[in-house]
Structure 1
Amino acid sequence: MLKRIVRGIFSAIGLMIGYIIASSLLKIPDIREIKYLSTVTGSIVFLVIISLLFGIILFIISPSIYKSISNVVEYVEKNIQKLTLTEIICGALGAVIALILMTFIANPINGIHEFFGPILFILLNLVAAIIGADILIKKKDDMIGLLANIKKPVVKEKKSKSNPVKGIAKVLDTSVIIDGRIFDICETGFIEGPLVIPNFVLDELRHISDSSDSLKRNRGRRGLDILNKIQKELSIETQIWEGDFPKINEVDSKLLKLAQTLNGKVITNDYNLNKVAEVQGVPVLNINELSNAIKTVVLPGEEMVVDMIKDGKESTQGVGYLDDGTMIVVEGGKKYIGETITVIVTSVLQTAAGRMIFAKPKEN
């Protein structure tokens, strides 16, 4: 239905264009002196034929015009959807400022030529609007920072008594959000805010929570639940960072770039991300390293009671676990599987995966 309406509109436009062109041609003396056009009937027939000709032409090409317009609208919509609200506002503001400036700068061009002057003036304004929008979108962070600095003294006067001094920004990784221990650590007060949650991390969590794999789906939803708990139940400051780094594809690389931009730290439990961050000089707070650091310290020669759960890699080894998850490998402990025995610590091995304790059964 819409296509038929558009086709009718273009046909009507074609008729009007044909009528205007035919009327203009009839005003030319050389054409008016033509025998068949000198009479009223001839002039009317000429007007009708030219009008119908342009109407038919636009009727035929209207589907192609409609398709081109639809493609342009669809392209614009897709690009606008990728932009945040802040970027759209900054882009509109940049375009308006550029148009105002170009009106004064390019106004003399408007009078250069009766036909080409206005066209050139419109093209220059269009280019200026695009450039102005692009510049302000790229500089949106600077603008937000400038506005924040302008408002800063007022905020300090009202809230300096109740709000503590803000610490270094902590950028949350997807893995540490899904892990969930970050909530308990923040609840204890060992980590100060603000916690920065990048928009691209939220997008990754949403993508995981919509996965067809039930395990991934549950992990993604758990991560979103943890974020909601942090925002609603904790007093720690949280910020959603709406920007992006379009030239960087990987989320981990974006996290490190964001931490460098904010002069902050990345909170993660991803071993590989930890190593890459060390190479790039980005400070990292690793939850697994914190967990290992607060595990109970044991020394060779100490005794402990362990439940033997399964056999180890070697033929005589048995494996048990402490309450905090630390693995204990007991030489000669295979025969005690299913029993609770007293063991003597022989050595302690610290690995990237955690702490491992080696022991032997205590001789009665």
Structure 2
Amino acid sequence: MKRIFQLVITLIGIVLGIVIFNIVNAASSFIEQRGIIFIIANVLAGLVGGIIFYFISGKFAGKFINKFSNLEGQMSEIPASKLIVGTIGTIIGIVIATLISRPLTSLQVPYVGNSIFVLLSILLYIGFGYLGWRVSVRNSEDFLSLFKNVKDVKEQKSILKHDKNKNLATAKILDTSVIIDGRIVDILNTEFIEGDLIISEFVLEELQHIADSPDDLKRERGRRGLDIVNEIKNNEKTNLVIVDTDYPEIKEVDSKLLKLAIDLNGKIFTNDYNLNKVCDVQGIPVLNINDLANALKPVVLPGESMEIEVIKLGKGRNQGVGYLEDGTMVVVEDGDKYLDKTIIATVTSVLQTSAGRMIFVKSKED
């Protein structure tokens, strides 16, 4: 370190010796600006300046090295973030100094040339580099907060990106009835459902038992349920998870589903009216396909008119029954006399339940 310091100071002394000689010679003109004598005089002036600065540097080298060591110790205590910001600030300061010094070094002074401006440009580099360091380090927290805000925005955007393979929503636990129903496949294709779909092995066992039933209707329903499971499994728009969690102490499948929903903190996906009620009592979230279907049906208000065909008698006295295109039951008051006829009726009331919706109407002729 001492030799490097002395070498740098000596080089500065050589340059200053030549510059001072040229200034003095330009003022007195005691040596002609051309010839071997002028060159020798420059060399001697440089040697004199270098020797003088070399001996001077020997006296200050120890103090400089101590200062440099202290500076190195202080630098090691500076956090890496501030070092990075300070380095960036220094680079910016050097760039500014370069822009200023380029036109400056192109200037010429008679008999001296651009030596003074070269020395001035060196001082500009040192000054602006140091200034850039100081300013950036003092305001490092402000700079880092800007990058942090950008990072937070990117993280928020990345969180909002949808990935079907990640469990971004509550798990949906399918029961037997919703699988056999089959409408779950159409709902999944709309991509309104997020999160994992859970099917437990005890539900699959129940579907298998239904598919092996001697009753033709039950057997067909069980096979349909197994086919629906395969469709859900092959659906690229959702993530199906088969869990082997079982509760041997519980015999009823519905009770096992409730226990599984509590353990997984999930929601029951069903269209079973009774299971829906039990979940409501126990505070377990439920997704009921019938509720969804009813919510999507067109709203009918009392006083509106509709065309309805009375196709059968109702359970109440003198009632007739018809159906809308979506399957909604329409009860016609005093409609027994319009059996097998199409009439224009006025809506009197609407009854909404989880099992479905009933519309009560009265013929305009009455």
Taking structure 1 as the reference length, the TM-score comes to: 0.54
Please give the root-mean-square deviation of Cα atoms over the aligned residues, in Å: 2.1
What residue number does 2:76 align with? none
Q: Which runs of 5+ in 1 are unaligned?
A: 1-155
Q: For the pair shown, which has the larger CA radius of gyration, 1 or 2?
A: 2
Pair 1:161–1:313, CA change in 2 (3 A): closer
SS in 2 for 1:208: helix
What residue number does 1:196 align with? 198
What residue number does 1:146 align with? none
The more displaced of 294-303 and 227-236 is 227-236
Q: Which runs of 5+ in 2 are unaligned?
A: 1-157
Counterparts of 1:161 and 1:180 in 2: how far apart (Å)?
A: 25
Q: How does 1:194-233 map to 2 (within 5 A)?
A: 194-233=196-235
Pair 1:273–1:190, CA change in 2 (3 A): same
Shift of 1:240: 0.4
Counterparts of 1:295 and 1:193 in 2: how far apart (Å)?
A: 26
Post-superposition CA distance 1:244-292 (Å, at most 9, x none)? 1122211111111111111110101112211221222211111111122
What residue number does 1:137 align with? none
What residue number does 1:171 align with? 173
Counterparts of 1:354 and 1:253 in 2: how far apart (Å)?
A: 24
Counterparts of 1:160 and 1:200 in 2: how far apart (Å)?
A: 31
Whether the aligned pair in 1 keeps the contact of 2:164 and 2:195 (CA below 8 Å) is: no
Post-superposition CA distance 1:157-193 (Å, at most 9, x none)? xx98785663111000011101111111111122113
Post-superposition CA distance 1:61-100 (Å, at most 9, x none)? xxxxxxxxxxxxxxxxxxxxxxxxxxxxxxxxxxxxxxxx
Counterparts of 1:281 and 1:340 in 2: how far apart (Å)?
A: 45
Pair 1:212–1:301, CA change in 2 (3 A): same
Seq. identity, %: 64
Shift of 1:352: 3.8
Whether the aligned pair in 2 keeps the contact of 1:193 and 1:238 (CA below 8 Å) is: no
SS in 2 for 1:185: helix
SS in 1 for 2:318: coil
Pair 1:315–1:277, CA change in 2 (3 A): closer
Q: How does 1:343-354 map to 2 (within 5 A)?
A: 343-354=345-356
Whether the aligned pair in 2 keeps the contact of 1:300 and 1:348 (CA below 8 Å) is: yes
Shift of 1:306: 0.8
- The amino acid that maps onto 1:295 is K
- The amino acid that maps onto 2:213 is S
What residue number does 2:99 align with? none
* Aligned pairs, number: 207
What residue number does 1:284 align with? 286
- The amino acid that maps onto 1:309 is I
What residue number does 1:62 align with? none
Whether 1:334 and 2:336 are equivalent positions in the alignment is: yes
SS in 2 for 1:258: helix
- The amino acid that maps onto 1:257 is K
Pair 1:344–1:162, CA change in 2 (3 A): closer
- The amino acid that maps onto 1:324 is D
Counterparts of 1:163 and 1:216 in 2: how far apart (Å)?
A: 35
What residue number does 2:320 align with? 318
Pair 1:162–1:207, CA change in 2 (3 A): closer
Counterparts of 1:161 and 1:282 in 2: how far apart (Å)?
A: 26
What residue number does 1:304 align with? 306
Pair 1:228–1:315, CA change in 2 (3 A): same
What residue number does 1:186 align with? 188
Whether the aligned pair in 2 keeps the contact of 1:172 and 1:195 (CA below 8 Å) is: yes
Whether the aligned pair in 2 keeps the contact of 1:308 and 1:319 (CA below 8 Å) is: yes
Whether the aligned pair in 2 keeps the contact of 1:187 and 1:234 (CA below 8 Å) is: no
- The amino acid that maps onto 1:204 is E
